[in-house]
Amino acid sequence: KEYCVAVTGALGAVGQEMLSILESRQFPIKKLKLLDIAENVGKTVKFCGKEVSVELSEPNAFKEVDIALFAVSDNVSKKLAPEAVKNGAIVIDNSSTWRMDPEVPLVVPEVNPEVLRQHKGIIANPNCSTIIAMVPLKPLHEFAGLKRIIASTYQAVSGAGIAGIGELKDQSRNVLDNKPIAPKVFAHQIAFNLIPHIDYFEENAYTHEEMKMFREGRKILGLPELMVNCTCARVPVVRSHSESITIETERPITPDQAREVLNKAPGLKVVDRPENNEYPMPVDTANQDLIFVGRIREDISSTGNGLTFWCCGDQVRKGAALNAVQIAETIIKMELI
Ligand code: 2RA
């Protein structure tokens, strides 16, 4: 069977990545609709060798659509996603608008595909750094039972969109040439620096990005009491987020057991040969689909069962576009459409 698929926000960084993933995975498409804001209407994008024109992203555009992949802002999604559902589409949304709505499944296909059965039209794609953490955490949880997570993220500038990449490149040149810099996308200089601040500060002194790991992590893993402490930093890396994660588990798990469990789990590649200087790095995980995990070791500060590891993943692909397309593939496989 083939489907009418819409990509909303088709010309943005995530929309473009969605298109290239739909094409490379040969998603069963009967008709593709590219939807975007008024100023982009009429522009064309090449898909499977054919030029497709961009149409206006408005409620009527979803009339014949089976699956709508949304790569738009929170405000646009809030208005448009319910309209798309009313018109008969299943919406897979990449914004943060619907993620914590109890009626909306929040899904990483390798982790909790079963919640898709409860969907009522809108399905939410989690935040990028949350997805990257969940893929290795799920098999470790199944083996040892998660009690607590302490995570620090090192997030690439492309997490802030194409403008973030431009800002890093321009600033790097200007700093090397001793020219003045004027930060726009980020609150401070990002070239030759890092910024421990992503998204706004909440009342508890954590940033909203950090609280996404806390709230979304609990929801995805189905562990409402899970203890999660996260610090998110923006680093001068173009693409691929990195995370240092320490867990405390109910039952003991040795580094060898963890490597074995992670080796067998979907969506992961264990890269863990420190004797050969082999460990996950963002330059190696950019533009591919797997989360790389390494530096797996005992948490020597733990009073219980503690394990520490490091992981990296392409946040534009697995952290956004690929995860959304995998959700679409899973709802087809589970016959939920
Ligand atoms: C980031 N949370 O700033 C974003 C992307 N979703 O990296």
* ipTM metric: 0.95
Atom of ligand 1 nearest to the CA of 160: 3
CA-closest residue to ligand 1 atom 3: 159
Atom of ligand 1 nearest to the CA of 212: 2
What pLDDT digit, counting tens, does each position of 249-285 carry?
A: 999 999 999 999 999 999 999 999 999 999 999 999 9
Give residue 158 CA to ligand 1 midpoint distance, Å.
8
Question: Tokens 């700093």 correspond to what residue?
Answer: 175
Amino acid at 192: F
**Would you please indicate which residues are annotated as catalytic (active-site) residues?**
128, 241
What pLDDT digit, counting tens, does each position of 289-322 carry?
A: 999 999 999 999 998 899 999 999 999 999 999 9
Give residue 231 CA to ligand 1 midpoint distance, Å.
13
Binding site as annotated, residues for substrate:
155, 234
What pLDDT digit, counting tens, does each position of 60-104 carry?
A: 999 999 999 999 999 999 999 999 999 999 999 999 999 999 999
Q: State the Rg of the chain over Cα.
A: 20
Report pTM. Answer: 0.96
Is any ligand 1 atom within 6 A of the Cβ of residue 127?
yes
H-run or E-run covering 259: helix 255-264
Flag whether pLDDT at 120 surpasses 90. yes
Measured distance CA(68)–CA(78) in Å, rounded: 14
Residue-range domains of the chain with CATH: 3-126+320-333 (3.40.50.720), 130-315 (3.30.360.10)
Give residue 316 CA to ligand 1 midpoint distance, Å.
9
Is any ligand 1 atom within 6 A of the Cβ of residue 216?
no
Is any ligand 1 atom within 6 A of the Cβ of residue 159?
yes
Binding site as annotated, residues for NADP(+):
158-159, 315
Measured distance CA(142)–CA(113) in Å, rounded: 15
Give residue 283 CA to ligand 1 midpoint distance, Å.
18
pLDDT of res. 303: 86
What pLDDT digit, counting tens, does each position of 147-167 carry?
A: 999 999 999 999 998 899 999
The edge-to-edge listing of strands for the beta sheet with 44-47 is 44-47, 50-56, 29-36, 3-8, 67-70, 90-93, 122-124
Average per-residue pLDDT for the chain:
97
Is any ligand 1 atom within 6 A of the Cβ of residue 164?
no
